[in-house]
Chain A
């Protein structure tokens, strides 16, 4: 059970995390509450792609020793709900902004959520990382990694949009 929920975690703790995701989603969705017709396929594609990549990547990188173990339910919710749905929508709202702005926005929001998960579930904990002896080093580096979400997503959308693969639409850049 520890592998699924994490040590000392109950479903109530997870409900709290989901509530946090929901509140963050409300905030993220604020500037653009509705998906435009031409962005729907892109959104759902990114949701599925990132959720899958994150879920498998988190485990694989744990196996490689690059990351700490995320309890399975934590990994599932973080990958699907936070990275998939919430960051997907954040990208929808922010994808026309300069890349450096997007990078900061993604890294910062990610940091907030990871902090919350760390506080509630005890995950994302590591005493030192990359030679830095500070418990926040791991959190900061992982958040910075999340900052690459918009850069990678843009590259994928542009690449697939060239031939409208999977129905992806990439508008011509001005």
Chain B
């Protein structure tokens, strides 16, 4: 029997293969030494006589040195493939060099002399070709075996050994504290587990970033990052990844790339460290399952599962061609679900096709990495083209409603007026009906002010405790008077247990998401045969004949495609995906994907003095908001996350980040949201074929800074000892005077982390066909049976959480879609504002 400690030192089968191969290489190279050495000293074996060039002393000497060195390296490496791994790497690098130099010489060498070989001749270039091929084959096998050995040793599933080593090296210096509770290797392994757990189109960015970080020092004639001593590594990172970016010392393009690399590297390290349960106690975090009152809360407010949703996976779809006698909806998010429910009520058969997978709420858990990989598009790593703007979207049955904060705002009147402005967008909405739909949606999804929610506990027990501080600050500054509105949020949440896991899925069925609420209701109403959901299937193209969509092509994750025919099609895959789908299908060319806008957000974190334990993570993640006089153009929402998420938005580098994470339970955080101009676009481009291009306008950027400054003032008024925006260069502001510096510290979007969970527009609603993709019935121009029902039809950003507006649009369009499908009440009288003749 082997002891556990002994097992640790045993080589894996793959490592043993590598060892054997190195031994073989040793003998090959020793043989090579003899082949070159023996003729030179007059001991030419008979079988080598046809090769007289072997007795050229210079040729033989160089070759003996090369072969001898390789033989020695192989001998050492084979002795202990773990300890002398670097020797294997040296062999691989030099062999690669040999192959490259061989190819260059074959292509460019002028002196292609011919040698006599036996009875025939051989040119030196052909000779080089043979030798390069030989080296390439030997090295290729070595690289494969080396990779397999390293992957087997650590159980790597996603990263290559080099990337894994870089991650370890980064973690070594980025997570810098006096008592790190898990090793750098464990951090890197956590990240590897995360990255391998989901399928995404942007995962390569993380690999590329790590390769970049590893090799970047070579440009400065320094060893690769993971080969540096930790002190040198930190000094290099400080100099070239931090100062060069923060102080704008690198040229713009290089600066952008370097910043993108290190941002990604930092995020990965922090995720790997702070998601580990062994770390949680050290930062003052208690998972819900371990909190003293969690049992009582769950007994008072027991788990309420709705009728389980019946969802088809790839294996359940037997044929590759489906004929659906009803409406086919792309997506299962808020717009799709409300549309589907409305159609089901009118007895229209509905088939929903969702890109994300189906996870029953009972499977939701506290592991952030697990939940993010299951519920978010691209594992929440979707970035804009300049890598400076993060677009976070849900990707699961239920869409973003599964991972949002359920915050509900009606569409502001000012926004509706702007949309219907006949001199501008000219949306042509029937506002009376729109308001009725808005009211209907609020009732349907169970919206109520969160502190009025029927609950056995006091609001203090389940609202985000950080929100209390925020309200205190607002009160102290006198900002709670009209025209400002400061209150707890309205949300489709009932009897919240206050676990603080809204963004990783509500296990307790309290958030009335589409997954827990609307979809099960609709399926129950229509019956599973007339209300089907296919999950894990991305719709990649709509097929049209003339002005009619005939079918769509969906692709499962294993590559299998299905062709789905239907009567009427509704695209409701979200602003980004819907725009991409239309572009891929050649629909609304030149308009689809344009005029994209966002609620651009950035957090302001506040830290309170020692002794003031706040535990903002306990309770609703977003509990309060402040809407300042609308002309200011922003809205505040208190927001706090479990450790992994929070660590990725926590300001600071090195020991500052460590210090901040260890003040986690004394912190509160507020997000500032700004409804952006519609100057962004999404297009099929870049390596992911899904490129979001966005640069905030100066007006939006100034508005955001204005909001951040006010958020800082509010927290300072509430007694915070310092406030911190999420800047690239670390800044901490302790007084109102300090805060005034912020506008000079943050010059543009490269100095601060911006992101959004609310992309909008792209296929906007307008009666002006030159800019609009859909008409006032949300029907796509030029197609008789294609509708859009998601945030992509928003003519501009709404500036508040958009889910109610999305659902209102869907509800608004239900009669038109039902009528188009040949069912429903039909004849809905829509009173649209008078308008100018439609521009073609």
| Cβ distance A157 to chain B, nearest Cβ, rounded Å | 10
CB-CB under 8 A from A164, the residues of chain B are 557-559
- Closest B residue by C-beta to A65: B126
| Cβ distance A160 to chain B, nearest Cβ, rounded Å | 9
Would A64 and B560 be within 8 Å (CB), given that A36-B320, A37-B553, A167-B555 are in contact? Answer: no
CB-CB under 8 A from A168, the residues of chain B are 559
- Closest B residue by C-beta to A163: B199
Taking chain B's interface residues, is the majority helix, strand, or loop, or is none over half, making it mixed? mixed
CB-CB under 8 A from B555, the residues of chain A are 167
Contact partner of B129 (CB less than 8 A), chosen from A64, A167, A169, is: A64
Bound-state CA distance A41–B540 (Å) is: 13
Q: Are A169 and B126 in contact (CB-based, < 8 A)?
A: no
Q: Are B558 and A169 in contact (CB-based, < 8 A)?
A: yes
Q: Are A38 and B560 in contact (CB-based, < 8 A)?
A: yes
Bound-state CA distance A169–B396 (Å) is: 23
Classify chain A's interface size.
Answer: 10 to 19
Residue interface mask B555-594, A partner, CB < 8 A = 1: 1011111110000000000000000000000000000000
| Cβ distance A60 to chain B, nearest Cβ, rounded Å | 9
Which among B130, B320, B555, B559 has the greatest number of chain A C-beta atoms within 10 A?
B559
Contact partner of B559 (CB less than 8 A), chosen from A36, A41, A63, is: A41
Q: Are B559 and A169 in contact (CB-based, < 8 A)?
A: yes
Would A63 and B553 be within 8 Å (CB), given that A168-B559, A169-B560 are in contact? Answer: no
A-B CB pair tally, cutoff 8 Å = 31
| Cβ distance A151 to chain B, nearest Cβ, rounded Å | 20
Would A161 and B129 be within 8 Å (CB), given that A36-B320, A37-B320, A38-B320 are in contact? Answer: no
Q: Are A171 and B560 in contact (CB-based, < 8 A)?
A: yes
Bound-state CA distance A13–B557 (Å) is: 47
A25-77, CB < 8 A from B: 36-38, 41, 63-64
Bound-state CA distance A33–B768 (Å) is: 46
CB-CB under 8 A from B129, the residues of chain A are 63-64
Q: Are B561 and A38 in contact (CB-based, < 8 A)?
A: yes
CB-CB under 8 A from B558, the residues of chain A are 161, 164, 169-170
Q: Are A63 and B126 in contact (CB-based, < 8 A)?
A: yes
| Cβ distance B176 to chain A, nearest Cβ, rounded Å | 36
| Cβ distance B99 to chain A, nearest Cβ, rounded Å | 15
Q: Are B320 and A170 in contact (CB-based, < 8 A)?
A: no
Classify chain B's interface size.
Answer: 10 to 19
- Closest B residue by C-beta to A42: B559
CB-CB under 8 A from B320, the residues of chain A are 36-38
Bound-state CA distance A153–B561 (Å) is: 20
| Cβ distance B378 to chain A, nearest Cβ, rounded Å | 15
- Closest B residue by C-beta to A171: B560
Which among A36, A168, A169 has the greatest number of chain B C-beta atoms within 10 A?
A169
| Cβ distance B201 to chain A, nearest Cβ, rounded Å | 12
Bound-state CA distance A136–B553 (Å) is: 49
Bound-state CA distance A86–B563 (Å) is: 26
Bound-state CA distance A164–B558 (Å) is: 5
- Closest A residue by C-beta to B563: A37
CB-CB under 8 A from A167, the residues of chain B are 555, 559
CB-CB under 8 A from A38, the residues of chain B are 320, 559-561
B520-558, CB < 8 A from A: 553, 555, 557-558
CB-CB under 8 A from B553, the residues of chain A are 37
| Cβ distance A46 to chain B, nearest Cβ, rounded Å | 14
Bound-state CA distance A131–B485 (Å) is: 93
Q: Are B559 and A37 in contact (CB-based, < 8 A)?
A: no
Bound-state CA distance A38–B129 (Å) is: 41
Bound-state CA distance A36–B320 (Å) is: 9
Bound-state CA distance A169–B563 (Å) is: 15
Bound-state CA distance A164–B561 (Å) is: 11
| Cβ distance A95 to chain B, nearest Cβ, rounded Å | 15
CB-CB under 8 A from A161, the residues of chain B are 558-559
| Cβ distance B199 to chain A, nearest Cβ, rounded Å | 8
Q: Are B559 and A170 in contact (CB-based, < 8 A)?
A: yes
CB-CB under 8 A from A41, the residues of chain B are 559
Bound-state CA distance A36–B559 (Å) is: 13
Bound-state CA distance A64–B559 (Å) is: 39
Bound-state CA distance A110–B423 (Å) is: 69
Bound-state CA distance A161–B557 (Å) is: 10
- Closest A residue by C-beta to B557: A164
Bound-state CA distance A161–B130 (Å) is: 34
Which among B126, B130, B558, B563 has the greatest number of chain A C-beta atoms within 10 A?
B558
CB-CB under 8 A from B563, the residues of chain A are 37
| Cβ distance A161 to chain B, nearest Cβ, rounded Å | 6
Which among B553, B560, B562 has the greatest number of chain A C-beta atoms within 10 A?
B560
Bound-state CA distance A36–B563 (Å) is: 11
CB-CB under 8 A from A36, the residues of chain B are 320
Q: Are A37 and B561 in contact (CB-based, < 8 A)?
A: yes
Residue interface mask B123-146, A partner, CB < 8 A = 1: 000100110000000000000000
| Cβ distance A18 to chain B, nearest Cβ, rounded Å | 32
Residue interface mask A136-174, B partner, CB < 8 A = 1: 000000000000000000000000010010011111000
CB-CB under 8 A from A64, the residues of chain B are 129-130
- Closest A residue by C-beta to B106: A63
Residue interface mask A71-113, B partner, CB < 8 A = 1: 0000000000000000000000000000000000000000000
Would A169 and B557 be within 8 Å (CB), given that A38-B320, A63-B126, A64-B129 are in contact? Answer: no
| Cβ distance A100 to chain B, nearest Cβ, rounded Å | 27
| Cβ distance A84 to chain B, nearest Cβ, rounded Å | 21
| Cβ distance A134 to chain B, nearest Cβ, rounded Å | 22
Bound-state CA distance A41–B559 (Å) is: 9
Bound-state CA distance A167–B558 (Å) is: 8
CB-CB under 8 A from B130, the residues of chain A are 64
- Closest A residue by C-beta to B126: A63
- Closest A residue by C-beta to B315: A172
Bound-state CA distance A167–B130 (Å) is: 36
Closest 5 CB pairs of A and B: A169-B559, A164-B559, A37-B561, A169-B560, A38-B561
11 A–B contact pairs at CB < 8 A?
A38-B559, A41-B559, A63-B126, A63-B129, A164-B558, A164-B559, A167-B555, A167-B559, A169-B559, A169-B560, A171-B560
Interface residues in chain B, defined as those with a beta carbon under 8 Å from any beta carbon in chain A: 126, 129-130, 320-321, 553, 555, 557-563
Given contacts A38-B559, A164-B557, A164-B558, 6 further A-B contacts (CB under 8 A): A37-B321, A37-B553, A38-B320, A38-B561, A167-B559, A168-B559
Interface residues in chain A, defined as those with a beta carbon under 8 Å from any beta carbon in chain B: 36-38, 41, 63-64, 161, 164, 167-171
